[in-house]
């Protein structure tokens, strides 16, 4: 008897597992229906609207219109067409899907209206033959004084951040053949409005890409800190930098740093510091005052 019960349990488990299918994909003919998240509830929401992939039984347009009014099965999503809002009828001509909305649609304004329009547009414009969605209520476009026709391109759900941009900067390295400092361009990923000085120095310390060039600075140079004030860039280096003789002379090392930095628009001169204090005598270089371009 016990064995039978166990067998039954095992079968039920198997059946249960088989029941939860993976989400349908476009390859299966599924469409994405967009629903709003619970964005009004807390500050911590990741997105405003989320797609749910469903397989339409027959004609996708009525299917989607019906689905948009329903509360989705997934957690944390709300119906795209809130209380009572629905498409009474629709017509498709020249890629424009005109939706005749119920009277409740007229009650929507501002943010909630945009959310509803966005869900409908993003969902329907992905369907074949639909490139634009037009909203009407009681035979007249709504909103009357604003935008009532939407394409998918009218919306963006991207997170609004500062994207690092590959910015070319010029750095000076030493060419042993010509015995002179030579400029080399590096691409640095900086965010807009971010100060480039730190990145310039870090890449300068790393060394040149071109193997025929060498770094004018001792290997393993570390940057303690950098700041910009009234056009003067304060470069804070550890004591080991000032104690180690650079490979191609003190003047070359200072020039490499100064010239690389002053190429930046906001830097006019470089003030060297040793661990926060004024820099000591560096070979034949006096670093008490800011060093300009050279």
Least spacing, CB of residue 275 vs other proteins, in Å: 13
Give the residue with the Cβ less far from other proteins, 107 or 251: 107
Q: What angle is formed at CA 127 by the lines to CA 126 and CA 132, rounded to 5 degrees?
A: 70
Tokens 């390859």 belong to residue: 27
Residues composing the chain: 294
Does residue 117 contact residue 87 with C-beta atoms inside 8 Å?
no
Least spacing, CB of residue 37 vs other proteins, in Å: 7
Q: Is 74 helix (H, G, I), strand (E, B) or coil?
A: coil
Least spacing, CB of residue 290 vs other proteins, in Å: 22
Least spacing, CB of residue 213 vs other proteins, in Å: 29
Least spacing, CB of residue 7 vs other proteins, in Å: 49
Least spacing, CB of residue 274 vs other proteins, in Å: 18
Give the residue with the Cβ less far from other proteins, 48 or 251: 48
Cα–Cα distance for residue pair 212/175, rounded to 1 Å: 7
Least spacing, CB of residue 195 vs other proteins, in Å: 8
Least spacing, CB of residue 119 vs other proteins, in Å: 9
Give the residue with the Cβ less far from other proteins, 78 or 250: 78
Does residue 207 contact residue 171 with C-beta atoms inside 8 Å?
no
Q: What angle is formed at CA 212 by the lines to CA 210 and CA 218, rounded to 5 degrees?
A: 85
Give the residue with the Cβ less far from other proteins, 114 or 285: 114
Q: Which residues contact 126 (CB under 8 A, 6 or more apart)?
A: 31, 32, 152
Does residue 23 contact residue 47 with C-beta atoms inside 8 Å?
no
Give the residue with the Cβ less far from other proteins, 175 or 227: 227
Centre a 10 Å sphere on the Cβ of residue 120 and count the other Cβ atoms it contains: 25
Q: Is 104 helix (H, G, I), strand (E, B) or coil?
A: helix
Give per-residue burial for 26-50: e unless 16+ CB within 10 Å, then b. eeeebbebbbbbebeeeeeeeebbb
Give the residue with the Cβ less far from other proteins, 88 or 152: 152
Cα–Cα distance for residue pair 291/181, rounded to 1 Å: 17
Cα–Cα distance for residue pair 50/66, rounded to 1 Å: 17
Q: Is 7 helix (H, G, I), strand (E, B) or coil?
A: helix
Give the residue with the Cβ less far from other proteins, 176 or 266: 266
Cα–Cα distance for residue pair 39/118, rounded to 1 Å: 15
Tell me which residues touch other proteins (CB under 8 A).
Answer: 37, 39-40, 43-49, 110-111, 113-115, 118, 146-147, 153-163, 165, 191-194
Give the residue with the Cβ less far from other proteins, 88 or 264: 264
């Amino acid at each position: 008897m016990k064995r039978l019960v166990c067998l039954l349990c095992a079968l039920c488990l198997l059946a249960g597992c088989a029941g939860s299918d993976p989400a349908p994909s476009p390859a299966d003919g599924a469409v994405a229906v967009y629903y709003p998240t619970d964005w009004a509830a807390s500050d911590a929401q990741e997105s405003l609207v989320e797609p749910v992939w469903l397989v339409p039984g027959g004609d996708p347009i009525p299917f989607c219109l019906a689905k948009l009014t329903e509360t989705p099965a997934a957690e944390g999503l709300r119906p795209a067409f809130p209380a009572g809002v629905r498409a009474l009828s629709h017509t498709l001509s020249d890629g424009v899907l005109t939706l005749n909305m119920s009277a409740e649609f007229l009650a929507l304004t501002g943010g909630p209206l945009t959310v509803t329009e966005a869900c409908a547009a993003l969902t329907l414009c992905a369907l074949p033959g639909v490139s634009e969605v037009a909203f009407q209520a009681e035979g007249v476009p709504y909103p009357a004084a604003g935008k009532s026709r939407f394409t998918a391109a009218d919306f963006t759900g991207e997170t609004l951040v500062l994207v690092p941009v590959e910015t070319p900067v010029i750095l000076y390295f030493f060419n042993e053949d010509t015995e002179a400092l030579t400029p080399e361009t590096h691409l640095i990923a900086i965010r807009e409005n971010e100060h480039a000085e730190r990145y310039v120095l870090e890449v300068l310390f790393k060394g040149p890409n071109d193997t025929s060039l060498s770094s004018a600075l001792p290997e393993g140079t570390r940057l303690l800190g950098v700041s910009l004030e009234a056009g003067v860039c304060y470069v804070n280096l550890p004591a080991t930098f000032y104690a180690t003789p650079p490979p191609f002379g003190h003047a070359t090392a200072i020039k490499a740093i100064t010239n690389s930095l002053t190429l930046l628009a906001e830097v006019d001169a470089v003030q060297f510091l040793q661990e926060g204090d004024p820099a000591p005598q560096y070979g034949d270089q006096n670093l008490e005052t800011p060093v300009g371009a050279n």
